[in-house]
Amino acid sequence: MGSPFGLIGAILRSAHRVATRLFAQEGDGRIEDRTVDRVQLARTVLGAAATIALILAYNVDPNRWEDAAYGGAAQLVVAPFVLIIAAPLVIIGFIYYAPAHLRPHLRSRLRAPLKAVGWYVLTLVVIGGILVPTALTVNADDGKSWWEYVLAVASLIVIVWGFPFFFMASLYSARSAFNSAQVHPMLPPVLTMTLVWVFAAFSLIGDGMPAGPPVVQFCSTLGGPLSVTAVSLWELRRMRTRFGVTLRA
């Protein structure tokens, strides 16, 4: 704790502890399947390697690495917002598809994801509610009043602790789909499939087709969504065959 690295480590551990408590509590509905976890990790590594190979082979833009890094960070930040918009539609359809006698039970379990969404929105409100007034009112050249000092200290706390917490909250919110496994174990992979195809559509509309031959363009555009969909469908099948979990039960 006496060294700068010790202080940074303590701040990151504190932010991580709070983020996991709020956004990574999937409850009893989560099915622990190490095989699925390993396959998901392998798919992520292979996807990253394929992206790097395609950039090296066909993208001659000198800023390609910077653009790829910004794109990945942007997707991480945007993913929770896409979930907030798209997840209610998926969950409504999911509950409607369930047998009538199970619908009240599933609706009663919506508290956990709604609570996680509420904490995420509150985080954004607090960060914006502190940084925006600070940027608009605090001036280092004039004499500061007491409330300007308060805003400056609050902004420092947001930058030092709030930003790492927001990054981790976004990561865990996207991974757990706002603790949606507490509603039904099959909801996270279903929401993952929805999220990846929404991002694929946004990428195609915003950036167009990538460089390279038609086969490479097809693989680059649809390889990620198709591979994520395949893994998610396989995960759903394992839930049904190995754990007896179905969409109708």
Query: Are the C-beta atoms of 208 and 13 separated by less than 8 Å?
Result: no
Contact 120, 169 (CB under 8 A): yes
Report the C-alpha gap between 160 and 150 in whole angstroms: 15
Q: Please tell me the distance from the alpha carbon of residue 8 to that of residue 1, in angstroms, as a whole number.
A: 9
- The single-letter DSSP state of residue 29 is G
Confirm whether pTM is higher than 0.85.
no
Inter-CA distances, 25 with 21, 30, 115, 172, 176, Å: 6, 9, 11, 9, 8
Look at the alpha carbons of 198, 199, 202, 205 in this order and tell me if their dihedral is positive or negative.
negative
Residues whose CB falls within 8 Å of the CB of residue 69, separated by 6 or more in sequence, listed in order = none
Q: What is the pLDDT along the chain (249 residues), one digit of tens a residue?
A: 556 777 888 889 999 999 999 888 766 656 777 888 898 888 888 877 777 777 677 665 555 555 555 566 667 778 888 888 888 888 888 888 888 888 898 888 888 899 999 999 999 999 999 998 888 876 655 656 777 788 888 999 999 999 999 999 988 888 888 888 888 888 888 998 988 888 888 877 776 676 667 777 787 788 888 999 999 999 999 988 888 888 765
Residue with tokens 């622990």: 32
